[in-house]
Homo-oligomer: A and B are copies of this chain.
Amino acid sequence: MPERLTPLAVCALALLAERPMHPYEIAQLLRARGQDQDVKLRIPSLYHAIERLERDGLIEVSGVDREGNRPERTTYRLLKAGRDAMERQVIVWLQAPRAEFPVLPVAVGEAHFLTRAEVERVLAERRDAVARERAAVRVFQEAALDKGVPRRMLLGKEFTLHRLDAEPRVGRLSPVRSRERGP
């Protein structure tokens, strides 16, 4: 019983809690709900994740069908063990912050290998990129709220906005020295 679930696996289990689905359908729903901004969704990873969930007895095949000549679609159903495992994993994630490792601190830490001018240029580009991303998230959020999507499903967006708003500090934290040329 390994039962350490990946974020994608938890999302898949959560959707299967609504009704049985086939993997591709799960992917579509995740995208439609904008959850692909919270979890890294790669189709092959999803298929592997589903396989593991089945192997571990958290879900089971509920049917295989095919339309015309298209590939077979295997539909899966959530099992009790799967529901429990998902809830345990959510508790673990809420309970304590995990050590996660964003690359920005590393990049800032090694920025002294660059010239001050280079650092200033790329950080300016970054500020623009952040502003664009922020705007895009807001558009998505507003559109969803207008369509009546409950706020509960959009909490991820609120986090993202908080995170993006905290970012501009980076610009104010760049004590770099001029380039030394090594090997």
Contacts A83-B182, A96-B129 given; 6 further ones with Cβ under 8 A?
A14-B113, A83-B183, A90-B107, A97-B129, A109-B155, A151-B175
A66 within 8 A of B: no
> Digit string of A60-98 for contact with B (CB within 8 Å is 1, else 0)?
000000000000000001111001001100110111111
A35, A96, A126, most chain B CB atoms within 10 A: A96
Using CB atoms and an 8 Å cutoff, list the residues of chain A in contact with chain B.
7, 10-11, 14, 17, 35, 37-40, 77-80, 83, 86-87, 90-91, 93-114, 118-119, 122-123, 125-126, 129-130, 133, 151-153, 155-156, 158-160, 162-164, 166-167, 169, 173, 175-177, 182-183
**Copy total for this chain:** 2
* Contact present for A105 and B156 (CB under 8 Å): yes
Inside 8 A of A126's CB, which chain B residues have their CB? Answer: 94-97
